[in-house]
């Protein structure tokens, strides 16, 4: 089974504009995300799904330079953007990735894909309820499920966040959550505010070595020795979408 990772990325972030090109260890955030996702053994293709806004010409230019597939669609209707990108690149099984997560872990991605495969589910994830650090979120769903959501919901929240319609219809879409043995949901490993960026920059400064990405165990070990780093953005509110 071939999986396509669709990475949603845009320059026009409300709270931290341009964050996808903010540097971490001298490389843009988006570069790290694409590199990390590409190392997942069960991901065969990667598509960056950006918007048709002029501001996102820069995203398309970057993908051309990097040889990464790109699709441009609606800025507000992200569900439509995902559906059109999946259709354009013939994606039957989709891994949803957000471009503001600098610690995406290929091993965690593979675990969620394996759960999706082994149970023959329409939808698998690791964040409802959340037990992984925020920023290691992975969602995997079929093109059929994505199409159903695209065709059936007109709720603006569903259209903006892509997967709520699937979560909210568990009898319609077979689904399963991958839980971590220890609840680590208190940890915030995503970038949505300057404090988030400050935390990520500290971790990259100490752990990034170039060729092989540092993964969740290395980050946890570093934060255990340096708890003040995790404190930098601990009070930033987690997305309400993934609260129990």
Whole-prediction pTM: 0.96
Structure tokens at 194: 């300057």
Give the up-direction half-sphere exposure of residue 142: CA atoms within 13 A in the CB hemisphere. Answer: 14
Q: Is the pLDDT of residue 63 over 90?
A: yes
May I ask the CATH architecture of the domain 4-242? Alpha-Beta Complex (3.90)
Apex 32 CA angle, 29 and 37, nearest 5? 130
Q: Is the pLDDT of residue 231 over 60?
A: yes
Structure tokens at 38: 């590409």
Q: Would you tell me how many other CB atoms lie within 10 Å of the CB of residue 100?
A: 22
Q: Would you say 140 and 5 are in contact if contact means Cβ atoms under 8 Å apart? A: no
Q: Is the pLDDT of residue 131 over 50?
A: yes
Q: Give residue limits of the domains in the chain.
A: 4-242
Rounded to an integer, the average pLDDT of 46-56 is: 98
């Amino acid at each position: 089974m071939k999986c396509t990772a669709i990475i949603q990325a845009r320059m026009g972030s409300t709270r931290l504009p341009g964050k996808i090109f903010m540097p971490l260890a001298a490389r843009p955030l988006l570069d790290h995300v694409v590199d990390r996702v590409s190392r997942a053994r069960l991901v065969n293709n990667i598509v960056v799904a950006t918007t048709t806004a002029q501001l996102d010409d820069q995203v398309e230019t970057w993908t051309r330079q990097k040889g990464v597939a790109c699709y441009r669609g609606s800025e507000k209707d992200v569900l439509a953007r995902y559906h059109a990108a999946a259709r354009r690149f013939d994606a039957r099984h989709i891994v949803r990735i957000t471009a503001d997560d600098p610690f995406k872990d290929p091993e965690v991605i593979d675990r969620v894909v394996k759960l999706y495969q082994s149970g023959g589910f329409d939808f698998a994830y690791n964040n409802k309820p959340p037990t992984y650090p925020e920023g290691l979120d992975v969602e995997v769903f079929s093109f059929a499920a994505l199409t159903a959501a695209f065709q059936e919901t007109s709720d603006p929240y569903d259209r903006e966040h892509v997967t709520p319609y699937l979560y909210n219809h568990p009898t319609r879409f077979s689904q399963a959550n991958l839980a971590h043995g220890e609840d680590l949901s208190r940890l915030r490993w995503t970038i949505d505010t300057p404090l988030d960026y400050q935390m990520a920059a500290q971790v990259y400064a100490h752990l990034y070595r170039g060729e092989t990405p540092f993964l969740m165990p290395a980050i946890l070990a570093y934060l255990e020795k340096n708890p003040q780093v995790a404190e930098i953005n601990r009070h930033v509110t987690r997305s309400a979408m993934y609260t129990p």
